[in-house]
Amino acid sequence: MAKSSRWVYILLGVVIIAIGTGYTALHLMFRDFAGGHCTDTEQQTIASPDKKHSVISYHRECGSYTFFFVHIGTGNTNPGHEYTPIVQLNDVAADQASVRWDGPDQLVVTYPPTAKVEEAYAKILGVFVRLDPPLQDVPPLQHTSK
pLDDT 10s digits, 55-99: 999 999 988 899 999 999 999 999 989 999 999 999 999 889 999
Q: How far is CA 125 from the centre of its chain?
A: 20
Q: Which amino acid does the sequence have at 53?
A: H
DSSP assignment of the chain, as one string? -HHHHHHHHHHHHHHHHHHHHHHHHHHHHHTTTTTTTEEEEEEEEEE-TTSS-EEEEEEEEETTEEEEEEEEE-S--STT-SEEEEEEEES--TTS-EEEESSTTEEEEE--TTSEEEEE-SEETTEEEEEESPPSSPPPPPP---
- The predicted model gives 1-7 an average pLDDT of 71
Question: Does 140 or 136 have the greater pLDDT score?
Answer: 136
**Per-residue pLDDT for 145 more than 80?**
no
Domain ranges for the chain: 1-31, 38-132
Give the chain's mean pLDDT: 85
**Residue 129: CB partners within 8 Å, gap ≥ 6?**
86, 87, 106, 107, 109, 120, 121, 122, 123
Q: Are 96 and 137 in contact (CB under 8 A)?
A: no
**Per-residue pLDDT for 143 more than 80?**
no
Question: What is the radius of gyration, based on Cα positions, of the chain?
Answer: 25
Residue 139 has a pLDDT of 55
Half-sphere exposure of 93 (CA within 13 A, CB side): 4
